[in-house]
Amino acid sequence: MKKWTKVVAAVVAGTMLLALAGCGGAKDSKPAAEKKADKKIVIGFSQVGAESEWRTANTESIKAAAKEAGIELKFSDGQQKQENQVKAIRSFIQQKVDVIAFSPVVETGWDTVLQEAKDAHIPVILTDRAIKLGKGNPEDYYVTFLGSDFIVEGQNAAKWLLEFTKKTDPVNIVELQGTVGSAPAIDRKKGFEEVMKDHPNYKIIKSQTGDFTRAKGKEVMESFLKSAKAEGQKIDVLYAHNDDMAIGAIQAIEEAGLKPGKDIIIVSVDGVKGAFEAMIAGKLNCTVECSPLLGPQLMDAVKNILAGKTLEKRILTKEGVFPADVAAKELPNRKY
Ligand code: GZL
């Protein structure tokens, strides 16, 4: 009997040892990729700020898409200051996130922090706005850039205006520019002027930044109206680089006793709901779409990068032009 007990004890002990080794082994035998697959993806996102309806919709799209994709999102609001965005990107590097994405408030000044991200081997995705580096090719510092073509948006605004007004006598245009030094402000101006150069009777007589906000757009439009009156100039058209500045300007035009959309033709960019409501009220004549709904594309790009796939350097968003006569029909379809 004693001998049996010894044998059973040995078998039990052996089995236990095997089981322990097996379960340890099971842990060690899982392929690295699978282990990685178990680990939740973490993305650090540095946002420009909360300056416009467009930006709010962009932030909502990114947050919703991260949740949907099961990706942990570390989100930072830059309050439209580059130093805040640089600080956020540095913190993402410290936290060793899997991917860094950001919408650069201005085009330049990113060389050092992007080199730090590169040295830390953290892939970077550009969303919404482009960058320019002091030296070297920007494309060496980010995996992909997803967003709109702002030059085309400026061209579309000018083409719509020419088609809508069909003027041969002088047309005085005032321009509310976006944030100084930002890609959308630079390129929307560039695209608009490229088309207008073949129509010299259409002239930009005043141009100033309204920083993409309603408040500043109203303030600058007030100064345009005041100085034009003092100089005996008529303002025929307002070209605003975003709908928020146009909506602010509409208030200034009304307070000056003029009819926005009639006395002053207004064309702007973004295609936010507020623009459709202004068009239905007859106060805005056209908005050129610039989609903020970049969240799903961003999360797909993150997953593809971490899966080792190669991405296009540039992922373009398709956009339309919405004149006032389609606003009522289109409004129910708008997602931002
Ligand atoms: C455009 C985006 C601009 C919007 C503005 O992609 O960067 O910034 O046109 C926003 O409304 O503030």
Q: What pLDDT, in 10s, does the model give residues 8-48?
A: 444 444 444 444 443 333 344 444 444 355 789 999 999 99
What is the average pLDDT value for the chain, to the nearest integer?
Answer: 91
Taking only the tens place, the pLDDT of each residue in 184-195 is 999 999 999 999
Q: How far is the CA of 128 from the centre of ligand 1 (A)?
A: 8
Q: Which residues make beta-bridge pairs with 315?
A: 146
Taking only the tens place, the pLDDT of each residue in 62-81 is 999 999 999 999 999 999 99
Ligand 1, pocket residues at CB < 6 Å:
51-52, 54-55, 128-129, 147-148, 184, 212, 242, 244, 269-270, 290
**Percent of the chain's residues with pLDDT above 90:** 86
| Domain ranges, ordered by start, for the chain | 40-147+293-318, 150-290
Pick from 242, 269, 288 the residue to mutate for probing ligand 1's pocket: most ligand atoms within 8 Å of its CB.
Answer: 242
Distance CA(226)–CA(222), nearest Å, equals 6
Q: Report the candidate in 170, 149, 145 with the shortest Cα–Cα distance to residue 269.
A: 149
**Percent of the chain's residues with pLDDT above 70:** 89
Mean pLDDT on 199-203? 98
- Nearest-10 Cα torsion for 332, 319, 188, 282: -30
Task: Give the model's pLDDT for residue 5.
Answer: 44
DSSP category for residue 282 = T
Residue 135 has pLDDT above 60, yes or no: yes
CATH topology classification for 150-290 = Rossmann fold (3.40.50)
Task: Give the model's pLDDT for residue 316.
Answer: 87
Q: Does domain 40-147+293-318 bear CATH number 3.40.50.2300?
A: yes
Q: Do domains 40-147+293-318 and 150-290 have the same CATH topology?
A: yes
Please return the burial class of 10, using the count of CB atoms within 10 Å of its CB with bins 0-12, 13-18 and 19+.
exposed
The pTM for the full model equals 0.88
Mean pLDDT on 294-307? 97
Ligand 1 atom 3: residue of nearest CA: 184
Task: Give the model's pLDDT for residue 22.
Answer: 38
